[in-house]
Amino acid sequence: MLHSPTGHMDKLQQMKNTVQLCIDSRKDQLHSLSRDIWSHPELSGKETYAHDRLVRFFSEEDPTWTVLSHYKLPTAFCASWGPVGDVDGDPVLNVGFLCEYDALPGIGHACGHNLIAEVGAAAAVGLKAALENQTGVPAPVKITVLGTPAEEDIGAKIDLLKAGAFNDVDLVFMAHPAQQDASFLPCVALDEVSVKYYGKASHAAAYPWEGVNALDAAVLAYNNISVLRQQLQPEWRLHGIITHGGERPNIIPAYSELQFYLRTPLVKDLCDLRAKAEACFRAAAVATGCKVEITYPCHACYNILPNATLETLYKNNGKSLGIEFPEQPANFSGSTDFGNVSFIVPGIHPFFYICTNALNHTEEYTEAAGAEKAQLYTLRTAKALAMTAVDVVCSPDLLSQVREDFSLAKLKMEK
């Protein structure tokens, strides 16, 4: 244990320098990891190449990691370093880093999840290097890297939560590429709804009166939702498509289907929006005589809980590395399954610039996510995350503040 504030600060800076040196020394390996994942885009739940590549990164290049492939989900993994249980009666502080690596249909890594995987891996190895052979850390530390697939589709972090993957994790870190650097953006809660109408087929010209038109129900439902929007809270979002509307123009459609996303700033408001949307869907069934089936095929994603202490630490570390933090937008309508994790474990989910003004989920962003010029920004983000972890693991007071922020934010959201 260090005995003076000056000695503590010197040791802290030495550990942060070690983080930077370690990540810089492995920048070629990290770029290769990211580029390989980028070059082999895989859809949610099918990320076998990315899974295997990340498992190799931890298991082959550094045998001190304990790696579990296909961890609780087919394309998830867990890499850990450090003590398994308490050390001399002291509880272990388990610091988690998350990697995402699924791509989007048709346009590949247009959300930069290859870079998220790189940041998680880089931050973990950087923190490990800083902790090795250190005697000034108040409590024994374990590092856990979780590969979390299928963020773009089913929200597999929620499945991992339910499977117990986060049960012993004390802190969780990840970062997402965007148009600017931000320690926090207010990601919103999200629910996905599938609506199916069942009618009766008939000849559309000879005897249409014998049919029950499921496409009419879908069109009415779509229009009902469009009219509803003007009565919604300004920050609420309802958007969707008709995914099936019939087979041929001369057949009254017996089946139609819509898919909608419902978003609210806070998860507690999703119930209200869900009720309003369902009223629109059911009204269309009544008007046309169709039967309706309303299901929610995926997990609801929660909004992200802020953590002021972690955000301040991340900003301070980022600024020391040259990261600039412009004024944040008042609203941000993206959603992520990290929100659910943030309600269970204290954490941080900053966003980082990658040297492009392109928007996520575009072909231009796909190119930027694979470009070499994104590496400077990606690796300094990883350094800032690992340095923030160093701050917390070296200070019981900061750890207490992080946990207090978590409890207060959670309590506020529940009111």
- CB 39, CB 103: distance < 8 Å: no
Alpha-carbon gap, residue 295 to 349, rounded angstroms: 30
Closest CA to 237 of 204, 269, 205: 269
Which helix (H) or strand (E) element contains residue 379?
helix 375-393
Q: What is the pTM assigned to this prediction? A: 0.92
Per-residue model confidence (pLDDT) at position 3? 45
Per-residue model confidence (pLDDT) at position 68? 97
How many CB atoms are closer than 10 A to CB 4? 8
- CATH fold for domain 189-295: Alpha-Beta Plaits (3.30.70)
Domain ranges of the chain: 5-187+304-414, 189-295
Radius of gyration (C-alpha) of the chain in whole angstroms: 24
Residue 287: what are its φ and ψ, rounded to 5°?
-65, -30
- CATH fold for domain 5-187+304-414: Aminopeptidase (3.40.630)
Residue pLDDT tens, the chain, 415 long: 444 566 678 889 999 999 999 999 999 999 999 999 999 999 999 999 999 999 999 998 788 999 999 999 999 999 999 988 766 667 899 999 999 999 999 999 999 999 999 999 999 999 999 999 777 788 899 999 999 999 998 889 999 999 999 999 999 999 999 999 999 998 999 999 999 999 999 999 999 999 999 999 999 999 999 999 999 999 999 999 999 999 999 999 999 999 999 999 999 999 999 999 999 999 999 999 999 999 999 899 999 999 999 999 999 999 999 999 998 776 666 899 999 999 999 999 999 999 999 999 999 999 999 999 999 999 999 999 999 999 999 999 999 999 999 999 999 887 7
Q: Which residues pair with 196 in a beta bridge?
A: 257, 293
Per-residue model confidence (pLDDT) at position 7? 67
- CB 346, CB 307: distance < 8 Å: yes
Per-residue model confidence (pLDDT) at position 134? 75
- Taking the mean position of all CA atoms in its chain, how far away is CA 345? 14
Contacts for 297 with CB less than 8 Å, ≥ 6 apart: 192, 194
Per-residue model confidence (pLDDT) at position 330? 64
